[in-house]
Chain A
Amino acid sequence: MSETKVSRRTFLRYLLGTGALAAAGGVGVGLTQGAQAALARTDKPKARYALIIDTTKCVGCGACVRACNIRNHLPEGKSYVHIVQKGDAKHPWFMPVQCQHCADAPCARVCPTRATYHHESGVVLINEKLCVGCKYCEVACPYQARTFDEERGVVDKCWLCLDWVSEGKEPACVQSCVLGARIFGRLDDPTSEVAQLVASGKAKPLHPEFGTHPAVLHYIIEG
């Protein structure tokens, strides 16, 4: 008789312990979510530029990919721009994707070292001196825009050719597109073609449901 009592008490205590553990786990997860939401709310610079991709003009020729690879000395099989084929076999259409320079960039949020950051122009950059090559950003980018540079052990991606752009030139991909599927300009100038396309809603962010608020890239997609 006494034995069952003891074991019952032990069992209750044990249940309590399990409950406490579960509660601790739950509180841990909850805290993470809450703290993260709070931490993520910092002011992001407004995008100065816009790069609009007009999928109605793109034929998927890959000139932009090649121009980018040459500009950035990327080895075979690696590129910052990838061309996603959409539609069906009969009516394919093409959608070049590269870093969208998100205002709420998950890559920057998850980067443990602050290597990924927002430039004052709104362009998302990587400080290669800080990057440890953990690839967390690569996993967390919903646009699959990041690649890992095995040689230097850091992650890299489209940087909008910021050196050329700040001299008033266009990024390599834009220069290379002879079909006019890439329109580049200043978003902070309301009279520019890109600003008007964005303002009129004709050019829209890609996959807004990801919630990352792409700031630089916008897409013109018919239908």
Chain B
Amino acid sequence: MGQTAWGWLIAIYLFLGGLGAGSFLMAAFFELSGWRYRSKFCPVALVGATVSGPLVALGSLLLIFDLGAGRMQPWRILYMFTHFSSVMTWGIYILSIFIPLALVYGFLELMESEPWLKGFVAARLPWLLRNGRTYRRWVAAVGSVFAVATAVYTGVLISDVGPAIPLWSQPVLPFVRIPMLPILFFISAISTGMGLTFDISATIADPEIQRRFRIMDLSHILLIGLENIAIGLLFISALSSGGSAAESARIVLYGPLAVVFWVGVVLVGLAFPFVVHAYAIGRGQHSLASGVGSGVGIVIAGLLLRYMIVYAGIPAAL
């Protein structure tokens, strides 16, 4: 099909980078807007903060696992910090700042809700617990910058191959030379983060939460709309630019990747959540199943989107 150098490990890495970043952004948004403090227990902030670090770290491990010599001789990974014209070098810096920040953020959340940890912190680091909110605010604010960077970077990484893989480097519009993939991956990062922390985790922890944050339904509709536009533009531009880009579009739209795209991405990740959330706006609330279901759909579709893009990357014809 497409290029063969990068496969599903890279696809999962791109997905986890987005999911972790999106989850962090959700938690940080709840923290900075004060929504986290509307109730005693905020599952969105807790889950978002605690899973983001491990998710992105897991993704990075997969990336390392995909390396050749760098896996056999791990010290070589240090060389990856040295070349600033490479987006991968940027990514290594972004990840090595974001992961620790996210882990700290997770700790700051856990210490509030985990009684054992809370006791431990109260005994050893009372100042930390006393000013917990202040520290969380700071970590959330600074971390958000790196979370955005992480999510955007996953798209820039593969769009930066330029003419080699025309699908990946399709511009937003013919006259706007910014590539579409970073934007698409960023939108998907927020969606999947929201799906994981709100639709899935918060709904399970507290089904009532849907009623309190009805704005989430609206946000999902908005993001689904944006993602639709981004995917639509990507394939229109790929088809109209001909050559390998059009070939990529064809294998996605009615070739070997059509099932992944139409069923996995469009039906499960866009249409179904759209119906669920549009219906919920009318009705004021979800059922537990529809909330969790749409979240699971969005997250799975996020993974399949990365998979599809990676495998649809057909090299330029010679």
Q: CB-CB < 8 A to B315: which residues of A?
A: 142, 144
Q: CB-CB < 8 A to A24: which residues of B?
A: 145, 148
Distance between B5 CB and nearest chain A CB, rounded to angstroms: 4
Beta-carbon nearest neighbor of A132 in chain B: B70
B284 within 8 A of A: no
Chain B interfacial positions (CB closer than 8 Å to A)? 3, 5-6, 25, 29, 33, 66-72, 76-77, 79-90, 92, 145, 148-149, 151-152, 156, 158, 160-165, 177-179, 182-183, 186, 190, 215, 218-219, 222, 313, 315-316, 318
A133 near B67: Cβ-Cβ < 8 Å: yes
Bound Cα distance A41, B77 (Å): 26
A114 near B163: Cβ-Cβ < 8 Å: no
Q: CB-CB < 8 A to B72: which residues of A?
A: 153
A93-136 contact mask (Cβ, 8 Å, vs B): 1 or 0: 00101000000001001111111000000000000101111111
Q: Which of A97, A134, A155, A206 has the most CB of B within 10 A?
A: A134
Bound Cα distance A39, B84 (Å): 7
A43 within 8 A of B: no
B164 near A141: Cβ-Cβ < 8 Å: yes
Beta-carbon nearest neighbor of A141 in chain B: B164
B5 near A138: Cβ-Cβ < 8 Å: yes
Count, A-B residue pairs, CB within 8 A: 166
A29 near B163: Cβ-Cβ < 8 Å: no
Distance between B139 CB and nearest chain A CB, rounded to angstroms: 17
A131 near B69: Cβ-Cβ < 8 Å: yes
- Residues of A within 8 Å of B, CB-based: how many? 58
B164 near A10: Cβ-Cβ < 8 Å: no
Q: CB-CB < 8 A to B186: which residues of A?
A: 25
| Ranked 9 nearest A-B pairs via Cβ | A133-B68, A153-B68, A132-B70, A153-B69, A113-B79, A112-B88, A39-B85, A140-B161, A142-B164
Beta-carbon nearest neighbor of B81 in chain A: A112
Bound Cα distance A155, B131 (Å): 51
Q: CB-CB < 8 A to B183: which residues of A?
A: 25, 29
A148-186, CB < 8 A from B: 148-150, 152-155
Distance between A18 CB and nearest chain B CB, rounded to angstroms: 7
Bound Cα distance A207, B166 (Å): 14
Bound Cα distance A139, B313 (Å): 9
Q: A29-B178, A29-B179 are in contact. Are A17 and B82 (CB under 8 A)?
A: no
A132 near B86: Cβ-Cβ < 8 Å: no
Residue in A39, A150, A153 whose beta carbon sits within 8 Å of that of B70 in the complex: A153
Beta-carbon nearest neighbor of B74 in chain A: A132
A139 near B165: Cβ-Cβ < 8 Å: yes
